[in-house]
């Protein structure tokens, strides 16, 4: 049985329209949940600069779950204490086996990103860095967090997810 040219064109048109509708919606159906933390050695002041980057709406959702109220970065007056407590409860590091307590510097919102700044003063550079990172893991099961340590020319990273919340980096 042969397909008539008009029927063939109709089939191609219908399939093309279906693909045009279905493919874009499936490509955006999965959201990628990620956060990045950089720990940079500042030789001049002998410190570790800790910089976290989040999607702002992801942190808003985490804070809403924790606090039980609608917190938004457009109402900056009440969010910083909650943000500070959240970051300090879900990110920790130990230097050479000794628990560190980075000082809170502050945060800023830039378009859809939230940047959080901390600083840990150090004496001698430790040979090991231990991290525990549960940022957003209780909110988004597929959350992936990356911690990148930069010391001079050395750049090394760890990845954290629900199944792996601790990691260690050793200097050679």
pLDDT tens sequence across 128-170: 999 999 999 999 999 999 999 999 999 999 999 999 999 999 9
Note the pTM of the prediction, 2 decimals: 0.80
Q: Is residue 101 in a domain?
A: yes
Residue 75: both structure tokens together: 């109402």
The verdict on residue 16 lying in a domain is no
Residue 15 belongs to some domain of the structure: no
Q: What is the DSSP string of 114-172?
A: EEEEEEEE-SSPPSEEEEEE-TTTTT-TT-EEEEEEEETTEEEEEEEBTTB-EEEEE--
Q: Which domain, by its residues, includes 134?
A: 33-170
* Model pLDDT for residues 41-60, shown as the tens digit of each residue: 999 999 999 999 999 889 98
Q: How far is CA 168 from the centre of its chain?
A: 18
Q: Is residue 100 part of a domain?
A: yes
**Distances in whole angstroms, Cα of residue 1 to Cα of each of 12, 14, 49:** 18, 21, 73
In a domain, 92, yes or no: yes
């Amino acid at each position: 049985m042969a397909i008539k040219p008009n029927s063939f064109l109709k089939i191609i048109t219908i399939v093309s329209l279906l693909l045009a509708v279905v493919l874009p919606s499936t490509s955006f159906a999965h959201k990628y949940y990620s956060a990045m933390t950089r720990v940079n050695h500042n030789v001049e002041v002998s410190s570790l600069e800790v910089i976290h980057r989040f999607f702002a709406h992801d942190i808003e959702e985490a804070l809403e779950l924790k606090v039980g109220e609608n917190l938004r970065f457009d109402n900056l007056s009440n969010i910083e204490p909650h943000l500070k407590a959240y970051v300090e409860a879900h990110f920790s590091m130990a230097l050479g086996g000794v628990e560190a307590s980075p000082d809170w510097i502050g945060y800023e919102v830039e378009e859809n990103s939230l940047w959080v700044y901390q600083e840990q003063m150090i004496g001698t550079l430790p040979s090991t860095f231990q991290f525990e990172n549960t940022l957003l893991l209780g909110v988004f099961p597929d959350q992936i967090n990356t911690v990148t340590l930069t010391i001079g020319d050395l750049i090394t990273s760890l990845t954290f997810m629900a199944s792996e919340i601790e990691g260690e980096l050793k200097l050679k």
